[in-house]
Chains A and B, each alone.
Chain A
Amino acid sequence: MAAPDWTLGKPLRREWDESQTALRMTVNGKQVQTVVADRLLLCDFLRDNLELKALKVACGEGACGACTIVIDGQPARSCTLLALQAEGAEIFTLEGLNAPEGLDQVQQIFQQQHALQCGYCTPGWLVTVYSMIKRSIHPDSPEVAQYLSGHICRCTGYRNIWTAVRRALGAAMDESAGGEK
């Protein structure tokens, strides 16, 4: 994925006097090679320059989890990192984690449980749930609460999110158990 040299969705201009640096990373399995303003935030780079709009910026200080992405296998906040801090990293956003069309199993469970209302925080939760599944977190494990504590939802009151997350983890375990047979 070749991109022009960027600051916040616009090509860098010399007269803006921005300090800039070359950047390489993998985003959703594609190579990105570009030059960015040093101070460009990772969330802005992904949203505005790569047009990956699923992640949301809501608090700007890593408090709410709406901007969660996966960096080198770890869920991380993209609003408190500079794009340059992800130099050489392998990044996944929701766009690269969910199915190319329709709803995958986790998303279907979220819909069935009415685990979203306005949906602004939802991409962040999903990225975290995919990470939990990847680590085979058991639905009854106390770790579930730790993962969920990283996200704020203003609409649902969390009850349906708890149910959806536990169901999604359970379904994933069943699936992997079935696969081993």
Chain B
Amino acid sequence: MKEEARKSTGASPSREYIGKRVLRAEDIELLRGRGGFLADLPAPHAAEICMVRSTEAHAMVRAIRKERALASPGVIAILAAGDLDLVDDALPCVDMIPGTLDARHRVIARDRVRYVGQVVALVVAENRYLAEDAAALVEIEYESLPPVTDHMAAKNPGAPLLYPELGTNVVYQVTQCDGNADFAARDGDLVIRKRYEFHRQIAVPLEPRGVTAKLIDDGQRLHVESCTQLPQVLRLAVAGALGLALDHVRVTVPRLGGGFGCKEMVYPEEILVPAATRKLQRPLRWLEDRREHFASATHAREETVDAEAVVAPDGTFLGLRLTGWCNIGAAYGFVGNTPITAMGAMVRGPYRVPNLDAQMFSVVTNKTPLNVLRGAGGPQAALVMERLLDEAASILAIDRAEIRRRNLIQPGELPLDRGRTGFAGSYHTVYDEGDYPRCLEAGLRLAEYENFESQRKAAAACGKLRGMGIAMYVEITAVGPYETARIALQPDGTILLFSSIMPVGQGSETTQRQLVAEELGISMEQVAIRQGDTDEVPDAVGTFASRGAAAGGAAGRMVARELVKKILCCFAAALHCEPASLRWECGGVMVSMPSEEFIPLSKIPTRLALLREEREPRRIDAKHRIEIPKPSYSYATHVAVVEIDPQTGQLKIPQYTVAHDCGRIVNPLLVEGQIVGGVVQGIGAVLREQLVYDSEGHLLTRAMMDYVLPGASDTPAEFNLWHMETPTGFNPFGMRGVGEGGTIGSHAAIANAVADALRDYDVAVDGSGPFTPTWIMEALSRPPRAAIPSRVPAKKK
């Protein structure tokens, strides 16, 4: 009877969606060109905004003359700082620890501009063309101030100050240590001292930013639609800036055309557009063009790190001393101090290095504010460690794989407290489970490390320089402090999940639906998902730090579990029985009275209505908040092979290998997509991309023609990928994050491979390059290296 009931209702045993290569349902609309990105959405009666941006890197604004612009056709208003009724004009920055100076980004320039691209005024007109016409007619009188663009100059006394009231350009400082911070070299130890430089980059998601705002509910509330990874944070910021009650602001986010951290920010425009809407009582829209994006979307990566490593004669790293300065631009990004904090937190990766002494600083300069970009500061951290390992291996004549083996943390040592090195919210970094040595060996085996020297010879015979680079990293993922989700069993018997995770391309619709279907034992087709509406999910953390599946997905799966409890309670009440006499099984409720019967999910609302003698089936809601006290740590081994043509400086990547562990994998198809995409972003970062400023603080790379992104020919010819799955105990479902790792490992692996290919030349690979053909030709023009440099004698103390 039981079996028959199931058959007739289509219920089946657990579908086991976890770990399956489920195709994405969201692809259908995207492939038909109906993705519903912000610029695609109707904005009825909206006027368009063009931002008037500073053309000066550092200046006092003496006057803004609007007359000519106001006379331009189709102009509705021109608004400057004094015209907007802002209660608070400082944008939020979450990583200001005690002692951090207040260099928060201002919504709009009041009397001083600090970077080219900063908003000085808004032109509102009937359409974008007319707004741009008028914007060109707004006259701003500047009184120039000396700019400072180099952070190593800006940190010194006597440099021009961006915030004279602070008395310094060094606005943030963090000390991170572990073991004995006063470690010193002993006789015979090797000491390596290096300065690493990281160049400035930008994310360039293909979808630019954009904001629309309108009044809703009879003008009582503001509805802001924006391309953000943080709708709930934006709602708080808009309400705070405009002095509105929180429930008077609704933020919605459509599907995003890529984020990569660039949309993990509260931007000036996201406050200005709603502020102008309220002022003018008119729907407004601002769509960023690509030139604005380069000047005003957050930049990334630029920092300088001095490293001193003490290495025992057997290659064991005893201690690491670091001083780092990040060029954060003119003001804090939302997480603008995170990249440099990641250096001290994550530099040691999977390697023991028992002693650490890191001093990290953020320095303000007259450049566009810096924020996270895929991997946050992880790529820089891994590059420093991995270059040091290769330097030590070379000096001590130890095999590059072997020196890594000797330093790896062993599985028995995990979980491991890595000392006071964490971010503001979690002061100690504590690694969870893992098997780093196995991951290294897997990567080496896949890449055929042992055969590489013969590959190198074969390439040399054809006049090519081949190099191989190994890199490992440990990445902080699935950060807390919590995440929320809501779920509803609809009257029609389908599930609707309200997720706090934004669709940025990572496939969160599919993974979240997989997790809920798995939990309930139902088909994925029965689960619909809605994302990015603060009316539906008012409180959440957001989409960043590789937390979508692990944190948001866990919240989604937990809320499904809550829903089951609620459903069982409903039946218990309706049947006047103990909830314990009911159980959830294979996508439905098994009731034992009046007779044993299986009621599939799709029939639950109607059955409950029948039992309650109600005419209409009711909807059943549940919500859940999952606390995430500790982040979990994914890790990987990357092995890159590069081949340089010394005639042209062209660099190709014949082979790339990743062995990784992100815990329990929900969908391998999407995980692989994240890794390959992340690796190629890293390849572009170290081989092609670079933001260039002149000494006066003018951005020279202002468009995609200037800023060369990786193209189809930059993808590695052969890609090896191997999954390890060590479930983490820090997550209820064993999941860690995977969104950023590809980018973290590839910076270091490519840098090591380039150094290896050029090992016979006297060239230093001390940073992120970029290793363009020009850079390579310059390196090849140097005299060949005389010999391996002799050991640096340790300093006696």
Residues of A near any B CB (own CB < 8 A): 7-10, 13, 15-18, 37, 39-40, 47, 53-61, 63-64, 66, 93-95, 98, 102-103, 107, 110-112, 114, 116-123, 126, 145, 148-149, 151-162
Cβ B31 vs Cβ A154 within 8 A: no
Question: Is B289 positioned at the interface, with any CB of A under 8 Å from its CB?
Answer: yes
Q: What string of 1s and 0s marks CB contacts (under 8 Å) between B5-30 and chain A?
A: 00000000000000000011011101
CB-CB < 8 A to B677: which residues of A?
117, 154-157
What is the chain A residue whose CB lies nearest that of B678? A157
Q: Give residues 639-697 of B contacting A (CB, 8 Å).
A: 669-670, 672-673, 676-681
Tell me the minimal C-beta distance from A15 to chain B in angstroms. Answer: 6
Residues of B near any A CB (own CB < 8 A): 23-24, 26-28, 30-35, 37, 39-40, 73-74, 126-130, 203-208, 255-258, 260, 289-291, 504-507, 669-670, 672-673, 676-681, 703-705, 709-716, 719, 742
CB-CB < 8 A to A17: which residues of B?
73
Cβ A7 vs Cβ B129 within 8 A: yes
Alpha-carbon distance between A151 and B289 when the two chains are bound, in angstroms: 18
- CB-CB nearest 7 A-B residue pairs: A54-B33, A118-B505, A119-B30, A120-B257, A157-B680, A117-B505, A148-B712
- Known A-B contacts A37-B129, A56-B207; the reply to A152 vs B711 at CB < 8 A is yes
Alpha-carbon distance between A157 and B705 when the two chains are bound, in angstroms: 19
Cβ A158 vs Cβ B680 within 8 A: yes
- Known A-B contacts A111-B27, A119-B35, A121-B206; the reply to A161 vs B673 at CB < 8 A is no
CB-CB < 8 A to A66: which residues of B?
206
CB-CB < 8 A to A98: which residues of B?
31-33
Cβ A157 vs Cβ B37 within 8 A: no
Tell me the minimal C-beta distance from A68 to chain B in angstroms. Answer: 11
Alpha-carbon distance between A98 and B672 when the two chains are bound, in angstroms: 28
Alpha-carbon distance between A157 and B746 when the two chains are bound, in angstroms: 12
CB-CB < 8 A to B130: which residues of A?
16
Q: Is the interface of B mostly helix, strand, loop or mixed?
A: loop
Q: Show 8 residue pairs from A and B whose CB-CB distance is below 8 angstroms, ordered by the A residue.
A: A16-B74, A111-B24, A112-B23, A118-B504, A120-B505, A148-B713, A149-B713, A156-B676
Tell me the minimal C-beta distance from B219 to chain A in angstroms. Answer: 24
CB-CB < 8 A to B129: which residues of A?
7-8, 37, 39-40
- Cross-interface CB contact of B27 among A13, A58, A116, cutoff 8 Å: A116
- Cross-interface CB contact of B669 among A37, A93, A114, cutoff 8 Å: A114
Tell me the minimal C-beta distance from A51 to chain B in angstroms. Answer: 9
- Known A-B contacts A61-B705, A156-B673, A157-B679; the reply to A116 vs B712 at CB < 8 A is no
Tell me the minimal C-beta distance from B719 to chain A in angstroms. Answer: 6
- Cross-interface CB contact of B205 among A16, A55, A154, cutoff 8 Å: A154
CB-CB < 8 A to B32: which residues of A?
54, 94, 98, 103, 107
Alpha-carbon distance between A65 and B207 when the two chains are bound, in angstroms: 12
CB-CB < 8 A to A160: which residues of B?
673, 676
CB-CB < 8 A to B35: which residues of A?
119-120
Alpha-carbon distance between A145 and B713 when the two chains are bound, in angstroms: 7
CB-CB < 8 A to B23: which residues of A?
111-112, 114
Cβ B712 vs Cβ A149 within 8 A: yes
Alpha-carbon distance between A111 and B32 when the two chains are bound, in angstroms: 11
Cβ A119 vs Cβ B27 within 8 A: yes
CB-CB < 8 A to A121: which residues of B?
206
Cβ A154 vs Cβ B673 within 8 A: no
CB-CB < 8 A to B712: which residues of A?
145, 148-149, 151, 153, 158, 161-162
CB-CB < 8 A to B710: which residues of A?
158
Alpha-carbon distance between A151 and B40 when the two chains are bound, in angstroms: 20
Tell me the minimal C-beta distance from A181 to chain B in angstroms. Answer: 30
Tell me the minimal C-beta distance from B323 to chain A in angstroms. Answer: 33
